[in-house]
Amino acid sequence: MRAIKEVFINFKRSGFLSLISMGTIIVTITVLAGYYLISETVKHFMNELQNKVEIVVFLVDNISKDKIDNMITEIKEFPEISEVVFISKLDAYQEFAQDKEMKQILDSFEGNPLPDSIKIKLKDHTKKSIEKLTKFLNTKEGVLEVQYGGKDIENFLNIINVIKLITAVAGIIFVIASILVVSSIINLTIYARRHDIYVFRMVGATDLYIRLPFIMEGLIHGIIGGVIGWVVIYIIIKILSLQIQKEMGINLLNFYIFRPEFFTVKFLIGCIISGAILGFIGSLLSQGRIRGDYY
Amino acid sequence: MVNMIKFKHVYKIYEKDIRALDDISFEICDGELVFITGPSGAGKSTILNLLYREDVPTMGTILVNDTDISHLRGGKISKYRRSIGFVFQDFKLLFDRCVFDNIALPLEIVGTNRQYIKRVVLEYIKKIGLSGKEKLNPWHLSGGEKQKVAIARALITSPSLILADEPTGNLDDFSAWEIITMLLDANKTGTTVVIATHNKEIISRVGGRVIKLDRGRLIQQ
């Protein structure tokens, strides 16, 4: 109780410094929360996309039925496979011909230009298993081409990974910066209160008794910073989604992180705990000063 | 009488061979009143700093109630200091607290019951003649009043030893005598009182034992 009272007395005394300390934590929490949101979005996006990824094996003309059946049997032996469907060139034509424009294009050819194909759906969407399967398929006789929609996704993911890396680096820099700022500000407080600390020591106060208000100060700055950081990231996401909807007509509420339910109590608690840890470490780093650096 | 404080061949040497204390040995008995005197730089404050465990000797032993205080560490230093009352020349009051809170500080840090603190502190405020000023900030007090608050803070835990470093240094004659009287009253109740001062008039008026220093050496005890 005494320690908390002292924190508020100190806030009244040097409110501007306390605001700088909290401001730094707010920025850090916002960046860290931003990183978390990007990661979660990518994860969610990946899951949705990967479920739609399929490998299509185009076959050469006049391939025998036996060869096709053998190939399907061999493909089914891979544990990563969930479904294998043979689509004859006739079936493919009928499917494409349902679209008027496609039908016009197809009609411009002499006969059916579409090849026979095998559609493969996967259980395991990792790059490794896709590569393993495509490598196998490319060695098979009668295979014209192996395609999968993963290339575009891979490129997109590469961009996302770069963004994630930049955010992570920025996050680390902000974490270090905020710890140093909190530590420096508490150092200034300790320096400003060196006379009081000396008196406390002289009347027999223990180290903990003297340190506790400064530790509490870091913690409280961190907790307040965490809460405000959460609010800031919420506002940023809201503004961003409204702006994108207005400018581009995309309803971002369809995306996971823009849904109100994403901003859960758990996420808020995460922000508060992160802020508290930053404030705590910052205040601990400054504590050496109490042991007589100034007195 | 039992020896409370023993200095055995104590040296305090700073960088460049500056000898603040040079082979000092003396004993102070329980309940004794002792003046440590000498010119500026004689080593008076160094002795008090060592006794207060603010510093440790370069060589030699300091025993207080048979405990070698140089070997105290961490929490034991805090505990040791709680058995001592210290009065400084510049009062060392907390100026963001009122008179009451300043006097209550040594009780507050050991978690004493609030009711007890209230009763005892108000008694002391009455004793030092500052009734009605308990809620004032020490800024509003005169030098003599500030020193009275500092003495009340030093006495509030009924310590067995009081160390006073030039307690009358910043005061007029009248206030100085009031402060000395308070310290003498404490001594009469059995508290050992060690006063570092260069005020010869006070020493001659009070009498009592004198430990005289000059440039870190003991020249009379």
**Beta-carbon separation of B78 and A202 below 8 A:** no
A198: which chain B residues are within 8 Å (Cβ-Cβ)?
Answer: 92
Q: What is the dihedral of CA A160, A166, A168, A171, to 10 degrees?
A: -140
For residues B5 and A293, give the distance between their C-alpha atoms in angstroms, rounded to a whole number: 29
Closest-CA distance, A17 to chain B, in angstroms, reads 19
CB B186 within 8 A of CB B196: no
Note whether B114 contacts A: Cβ–Cβ < 8 A.
no
Q: Quick one: pLDDT band at residue A3, thresholds 50, 70, 90?
A: confident
- One-character DSSP codes across A213-274: HHHHHHHHHHHHHHHHHHHHHHHHHHHHHHHHHHHH---GGGSGGGSGGGS-HHHHHHHHHH
What is the average pLDDT score of chain A?
81
SS3 A140: coil
Instruction: Please report, rounded to a whole number, the percentage of residues in chain A having pLDDT higher than 90.
Output: 6
pLDDT for residue A294: 43
Domains of chain B in sequence order: 3-220 (3.40.50.300)
Beta strands B161-165 and B192-196 are parallel
Interface test with A, best of B93, B94, B97, B161 (most A CBs within 10 A): B94
pLDDT at A266 over 90: no
**Beta-carbon separation of B109 and A13 below 8 A:** no
Size (chain B), residues = 221
Beta strands B217-220 and B209-214 are antiparallel
> What is the chain A residue with the closest CA to B83?
A204
Angle between helices B143-155 and B114-127 (to 10 degrees): 140
Query: CA-based angle B213:B216:B217, to the nearest 5?
Result: 60
Question: pLDDT digit string (tens) for A23-44?
Answer: 888 988 888 888 787 777 777 7
Name which of A195, A196, A204 is nearest B78 (Cβ-Cβ). A204
Note whether B73 contacts A: Cβ–Cβ < 8 A.
no
pLDDT at A157 over 70: no
Name which of A9, A199, A207 is nearest B92 (Cβ-Cβ). A199
> What is the chain B residue with the closest CA to A194?
B94
CB B96 within 8 A of CB A194: no
Residues 6+ apart with CB under 8 A from A38: A160, A163, A164, A167
**Beta-carbon separation of A199 and B94 below 8 A:** yes
Name which of A196, A203, A207 is nearest B74 (Cβ-Cβ). A207
> What is the chain B residue with the closest CA to A193?
B94
Interface test with A, best of B52, B55, B73, B92 (most A CBs within 10 A): B92
- What is the average pLDDT across B141-169? 91
B60: left (phi over 0), alpha (psi -120 to 50) or beta: left
* Distances in whole angstroms, Cα of residue A111 to Cα of each of A106, A114, A115, A145: 8, 9, 11, 21
Q: Quick one: pLDDT band at residue B101, thresholds 50, 70, 90?
A: very high
pLDDT at B53 over 70: yes
- One-character DSSP codes across A111-137: S--PPPEEEEEES---HHHHHHHHHHH
Q: How many CB pairs under 8 A join A and B?
A: 44
Closest-CA distance, A199 to chain B, in angstroms, reads 6
A196: which chain B residues are within 8 Å (Cβ-Cβ)?
Answer: 94, 96
Note whether A203 contacts B: Cβ–Cβ < 8 A.
yes
Pair of tokens at residue B122: 């108000």
For residues A265 and A124, give the distance between their C-alpha atoms in angstroms, rounded to a whole number: 33
- Residue spans of the domains in chain A: they are 2-48+154-290, 54-148
Q: Identify which has the larger pLDDT, A295 or B19.
A: B19
> What is the chain B residue with the closest CA to A13?
B96
Within 10 A of B101 (CB to CB), how many other CB atoms are there? 18
A97: left (phi over 0), alpha (psi -120 to 50) or beta: alpha
Pick the closest to residue A136 from A53, A54, A82, A55 (CA basis): A55
Note whether A147 contacts B: Cβ–Cβ < 8 A.
no
Instruction: Give the number of C-alpha atoms closer than 13 A to the C-alpha of residue B145, restricted to the C-beta side.
Output: 18
Query: Which residues is B194 bridged to in the sheet?
Result: B34, B163
A6: which chain B residues are within 8 Å (Cβ-Cβ)?
Answer: none
Q: Quick one: pLDDT band at residue A259, thresholds 50, 70, 90?
A: low
A202: which chain B residues are within 8 Å (Cβ-Cβ)?
Answer: 52, 54, 81, 86, 92
Closest-CA distance, B76 to chain A, in angstroms, reads 9
Query: Which residues is B213 bridged to in the sheet?
Result: B218
Instruction: Give the number of C-alpha atoms closer than 13 A to the C-alpha of residue A85, restricted to the C-beta side.
Output: 10
Name which of A195, A198, A205 is nearest B78 (Cβ-Cβ). A205
- What is the distance, to the nearest Å, from the Cα of residue B34 to the centroid of all Cα atoms in its chain? 11
Residues 6+ apart with CB under 8 A from B129: B148
- What is the average pLDDT across A257-278? 80
pLDDT for residue B152: 93
Query: CA-based angle A10:A12:A18, to the nearest 5?
Result: 65
Is the reported ipTM for this assembly greater than 0.85? yes
Q: Quick one: pLDDT band at residue A262, thresholds 50, 70, 90?
A: low
What architecture is domain A54-148? 2-Layer Sandwich (3.30)
**A281: burial class by Cβ within 10 Å (0-12, 13-18, 19+)?**
middle
Strand ranges of the sheet holding A54-59, from the earlier edge strand across to the other edge:
A81-87, A117-122, A54-59, A143-148
CB B21 within 8 A of CB B11: yes
Closest-CA distance, A279 to chain B, in angstroms, reads 25
Note whether A131 contacts B: Cβ–Cβ < 8 A.
no
Pick the closest to residue B77 from A284, A291, A192 (CA basis): A291
Angle between helices A194-202 and B75-82 (to 10 degrees): 70
pLDDT for residue A164: 74
Name which of B54, B109, B153 is nearest A209 (Cβ-Cβ). B109
Radius of gyration of chain B (CA): 17
